[in-house]
A and B are shown apart, each in its own frame.
Chain A
Amino acid sequence: MPYKILEKKTLADNVVSLWVEAPQIAKKREAGQFIILRPNDKSERIPLTIAGVKKEVGAIRLIAQVVGDTTRELAALNEGDFIRDLAGPLGHPTPIKNYGTVACIGGGIGVAPMLPIAAAMKEAGNHVVTIVGARTKELLILEDELREASSEFIITTDDGSYGEKGFVTDVLKKRIANSAKIDFAAAIGPVPMMKAVAAVTKEAGIPTVASLNTIMIDGTGMCGGCRVTIGGEVKYTCVDGPEFDAHKVDFDELQNRLGTYREQENKEEHNCKLEGKV
């Protein structure tokens, strides 16, 4: 049963936003959940977060950064084309409730999965402080939508080309140092960023979840390929996650395992922006 692409937009170099017809998923999904798709019948199965929904038209939004074959195949599809397979919603939803003040920290393509979480947190009555990072101005995506979904919105760029110069953790540290109250934090982005955020919030005693972007195949708990170590225990990201207590995640192991197929995948020329820093 193929899934029709209703709308396609390019958000930045190598980042596309797709609205895809999938009414039942649109009805069921909650913030923090993802899908697994295959653009065509030769493709790999890859996970992508559900970045938004339009229940009225039965559509879900996917935002993908082109980093390899499958994301390239996906980005090559146009409005009116079909995605061959799409399964979801997968994973546990984000624990949305009124915590008080919530920091949503996104880096790189991680700002796309952050969007629905920020929106849901705000709707639940939180004061939402969104801090997003990009390497440079051109790579920043979803600025208007994130601003809309947040109570406060702070941008950082590595090169200072836009917003504050530096990393998201610099902003976070500054706020904490100025004794701004943060009751809960969520971090999504490259592994080094999530690791750095976790270190900062752990010291400050702020409960934090990180959404882990492991390699996956089935997404149903059948293969164990997405296993991660959380507080010394093995968990499956697809059925136990994707969000876990950031203070317990073994980020170094995650980073290693993400490199499993780098050599094989890089045989054909690749553009591995995800792997870079924020």
Chain B
Amino acid sequence: MKNDLTAKERMAIPRHDMPEQSPEIRKNNFEEVPLGYSEETAIKEAQRCLQCKKPKCVQGCPVNVYIPEFINKVAEGDFDAAQEILLDTNSLPAICGRVCPQETQCEELCILANKGEAVAVGRLERFVADTARLKAETSASQKTEITKPDPSARKIAIVGSGPSGLSCAADLLQAGYNVTLFEALHEAGGVLVYGIPEFRLPKSIVKSEIDALLAKGADMITNAVIGRLYTIDDLLGEEGFSAVFIGTGAGTPKFLNIPGENLIGVYSSNEFLTRVNLMKAYKSDARTPVIRGNHVAVFGAGNTAMDSARTALRIGADNVYIMYRRSRTEMPARIEEIHHAEQEGVKLDLLVNPLEFKGDDKGWLTSVICQRMELGEPDDSGRRRPIPIKGSEFETQIDVAVIAVGTSSNPLIRQTTPDLPMNKWGYIEADDDGITGKKGVFAGGDIVTGAATVIEAMGAGKQAAAAIIEYVREKN
């Protein structure tokens, strides 16, 4: 198939929507909401790309995926070649195609974004990766053979198996090093497995992308809490690793610090989502319990808040409110996610600030007292500052509250690696190449930047891999 339309013809094609499960049905199940492009739609959408000589979209992508090149292959119907091109820069395309905030990354800078609608880069990326995975799964002969790097090659340790660790591992394997990943939990994937819910990112997809990495010869040691089982110095010393990459994420939840926050029924979003996702509380045969509230309030307005609200609905809540201090324009979640949540019946209670949780005599949450806010002058972040309205306090009956107001740095490695420089918030200090103030130690992802995105964490992992390769070479 030839991709030889004129620019005019390309621009005449409208952007293609992705079919989705209807809100009425999906709010009762954990299956994925968007259903993906068909081959035909994907090719049509790919034809919209103008194949720019200086593609702006690529600059918007933290790992600089060769966007026009892979889209060209889709338009030509050569999906295998498209996948090869994706994998050159992005080891987890099925995941990024689903969860990247494309509207503020690659698609924001697409030349068509201002003229009309950006090329659906993310949806195409997802299509290509899904097609490749299905093909690999159905061709039984293609049993993935595990290839091991040369055992005499240098050993590199990776702490944490979230997106940053995984992408760092991929590049180091590619360069021929022996890579061992140490993961504290029983399952690899970081936020991809414990945070982002099944209906947005099916865990089977995460697993197959990780399996593909393991097939290239990485060792994955789960249940390995670094700082306790081995310290960073153990890894660099006794355990014989030439360098260590730390990609432990920003996994410690923040609370509101208001009265009543330890009542039964008040969860951090991490706990709520972990119970349901990682521990599969939504399945009938899983043992981990979760309180299935009738009236649930979620505090915060990022992706985590949307995920928590939509999860609460799916495990049986009648009413789910998102309570947020500012207005809709300041909500940090992806527009698509806010839209999905509202379609499913999540109610947005905006310009509302919680003051106190109330409970019964047995310590169970019964209500939250909030006050209304109005927007004042912009603050340092450029967002208009919310100001309380006097006398506007009101009470809402709730039996579950989920606090999704962000995370801070996990203390484990900090406590046990005193000579690793951190900033005042406890995040590791590292430059753009992931180089830290401790020799042989590199870091990237949320543990350096604070909570960010999957693809930014992957970008940081790749940068660090390059720096590690250079460091190890110089050591020789």
Contact = CB atoms under 8 A, between A and B. Distances in A.
Interface of A: 1, 24-25, 28, 38, 42-45, 69-70, 84-90, 217-225, 227-229, 234, 236, 239-240, 253, 256-257, 259-261, 264-265
B274 A223 contact: yes
A252 B412 CA distance: 28
Chain B's interface: helix, strand, loop or mixed, by majority? loop
Interface centre among A89, A220, A239 (most CB of B within 10 A): A220
A90 B228 contact: yes
Contacts of A87: 184-186, 223-225, 229
Given A223-B268, A256-B362, A89 B184 contact: no
B186 A85 contact: yes
B317 interface: no
15 contacts: A1-B221, A25-B229, A28-B228, A28-B230, A44-B279, A44-B288, A45-B186, A69-B287, A86-B223, A88-B228, A217-B274, A223-B270, A223-B274, A240-B411, A253-B363
Given A220-B410, A223-B274, A253-B262, A260 B252 contact: no
Interface string B271-289: 1001100010000011111
B229 A257 contact: no
Max chain B CB contacts within 10 Å: which of A45, A229, A240? Answer: A45
Given A42-B285, A44-B287, 18 more contacts: A1-B222, A28-B229, A38-B186, A45-B288, A84-B186, A85-B222, A87-B184, A87-B185, A88-B228, A88-B229, A90-B225, A217-B274, A217-B275, A221-B252, A224-B253, A224-B268, A234-B255, A260-B264
A227, A228, A264 pick with most chain B CB within 10 angstroms = A227
B251 A260 contact: no
B291 interface: yes
Nearest to A254: B262
A147 to B, nearest CB: 31
A264 to B, nearest CB: 4
Contact of B251 (A1, A45, A220, A261): A220
Nearest to A69: B287
Contacts of A220: 184-185, 225, 251, 410, 412
A221 B274 contact: no
Best-surrounded residue of A25, A221, A259 (most CB of chain B within 10 A): A221
9 closest A-B pairs by CB: A256-B363, A223-B271, A87-B223, A224-B268, A85-B186, A222-B251, A261-B289, A264-B289, A225-B271
Interface in B240-273: 251-253, 255, 257, 261-262, 264, 267-268, 270-271
B345 to A, nearest CB: 25
Specify which of B222, B224, B229, B287 lies most central, judged by the most chain A CB atoms within 10 Å of its CB. Answer: B287
A257 to B, nearest CB: 6
A257 B288 CA distance: 16
Nearest to A219: B225
A222 B274 contact: yes
Contacts of B194: 218, 222
Given A45-B186, A217-B271, A218-B184, A89 B253 contact: no
A228 B261 CA distance: 11
Contacts of A224: 252-253, 255, 268, 270-271
Nearest to B234: A28
Contacts of B264: 256-257, 259-260
A112 B463 CA distance: 48
Contacts of B253: 222-224
Nearest to B191: A222
Given A28-B228, A223-B271, A257-B262, A85 B223 contact: yes
A45 B279 CA distance: 9
Contacts of A239: 410-412
A131 to B, nearest CB: 30
A4 to B, nearest CB: 14
Contacts of B221: 1
Given A1-B223, A45-B186, A218-B274, A89 B228 contact: yes
A88 B222 CA distance: 11
Interface string B33-50: 000000000000000000
